[in-house]
Amino acid sequence: MKVKNSNFVDYVKILCRSGKGGAGSAHFLRDRTTAKGGPDGGDGGRGGHIILKGNQQLWTLLPLKYTKHIFAEHGGAGSGNHSSGKDGQDKYLEVPLGTVAKNFESGEIIGEVTEHNQELILIKGGIGGRGNAHFKSSTNQSPHYAQPGIDSSEDWFVLELKVLADIGLVGFPNAGKSTLLSVLTAAKPEIADYPFTTLVPNLGIVSYRDHKSFIMADIPGIIEGASKGKGLGIRFLRHIERNSSLLFLVPADSDDIHQEFKILLSELKKYNPELLDKQRILAISKSDMLDEELTKEIRKSLPKELDYIFISSVSQKGLTDLKDKIWKQLNKNE
């Protein structure tokens, strides 16, 4: 099976080097009327920072996959007449919303970019050195020294993308998540009758009443053991972390719907127990194949406190009610 849409990149490791600060100047005033003037050396310019900048039009870290080494510009040296050196140009890296930056060695989280045009300094440029004009004093009228600029900094960083969506679809392979997304939104995920069709998260905007909308993400199917890296594993479970609500999909022809739902919950709990704090809805998909009697049997097997709904993407059964449920859940704290 070919992996389609390999343009989706959600993990990159990059080497970043900031610019070094420019040297301060040890200059003395000299002109036609002044043979021996005082110190007038300017400061060196600041070295360039390396900065992450959020861009809501981006969905992947692909551009950074082929740019492993990123260097910012050095600051310029100061000069006479108190002239400061030019600051080094900052290097901006545009990233999708939901990008988390970590130090590769320590694993420490530097920060995360969640808003359009938000800026996060990944590594700071060196400060420029002070010129000799700063060091003039009553006891030293002619300082012949200035500060060198602070050297550049260099480090390896990891950028991880966690898909931002209002509601994430969770289910085993072939639960019907891609089909539901394609029916509710304009997204065109690959749909086929074999496991792991969805190899990358798919996002779609669901239109709701009165020109309202919400974003739905189809996360690749997980299987038992996903939290330990089995199947598509942890790489995709992290995308669920950013969804405010979770929509669990279990097909009507499952051997045990409640058991399948509990396995999905268990995988999420093993990966990150906080995921169980999210609001959730269980949608029983492919329910166009059920008659009234089977539907009643399934209802009896489900816990009363569980918020569930029977749907069919093919026959459009229950989809309007599903959107109502999701919208109510997303906005119940407002």
Name residue 37's amino acid.
Answer: G
On whether both 192 and 296 belong to a single domain, the answer is yes
pLDDT band at 216 (very low <50, low <70, confident <90, very high): confident
pLDDT at 121 over 70: yes
Of 161, 191, 206, the residue that ends a domain is 161
Q: Which residues are CB-neighbours of 258 under 8 A, at least 6 positions away?
A: 301, 302, 303
Both tokens of 123, joined, read 């590594």
On whether both 75 and 120 belong to a single domain, the answer is yes
CB atoms within 10 A of CB 153: 18
The per-residue pLDDT for range 185-209, each reduced to its tens digit, is 765 544 434 333 345 567 777 888 8
DSSP string, 204-249: EEEE-GGG-EEEEEEPPP--TTGGGT-TTTHHHHGGGGG-SEEEEE
On whether both 236 and 313 belong to a single domain, the answer is yes
119 to 15, 111, 141: CA distances (angstroms): 19, 10, 43
Number of domains present in the structure of the chain: 2
Nearest of 285, 247, 231 to residue 165 by alpha carbon? 247
Minimum mean pLDDT range among 40-49, 92-101, 145-154, 181-190: 181-190
* Residue-number span of the structural domain to which 27 is assigned: 1-161
On whether both 17 and 148 belong to a single domain, the answer is yes
On whether both 100 and 181 belong to a single domain, the answer is no
On whether both 234 and 103 belong to a single domain, the answer is no
On whether both 34 and 130 belong to a single domain, the answer is yes
Nearest of 79, 17, 11, 16 to residue 45 by alpha carbon? 79
Q: In this structure, what CATH number is given to the domain that contains residue 152?
A: 2.70.210.12
Output the pTM of the full model: 0.66
On whether both 7 and 154 belong to a single domain, the answer is yes
Q: In this structure, what CATH number is given to the domain that contains residue 210?
A: 3.40.50.300
On whether both 180 and 116 belong to a single domain, the answer is no
On whether both 69 and 185 belong to a single domain, the answer is no
Q: What is the pLDDT of residue 162?
A: 81
Of 161, 184, 215, the residue that ends a domain is 161
On whether both 259 and 201 belong to a single domain, the answer is yes
The per-residue pLDDT for range 275-308, each reduced to its tens digit, is 888 889 999 998 888 888 888 988 888 888 889 9
On whether both 12 and 154 belong to a single domain, the answer is yes
Higher pLDDT, 56 or 242: 56
36: phi then psi, degrees, rounded to nearest 5: -135, 80
Nearest of 195, 192, 200 to residue 173 by alpha carbon? 195
Of 161, 187, 221, the residue that ends a domain is 161
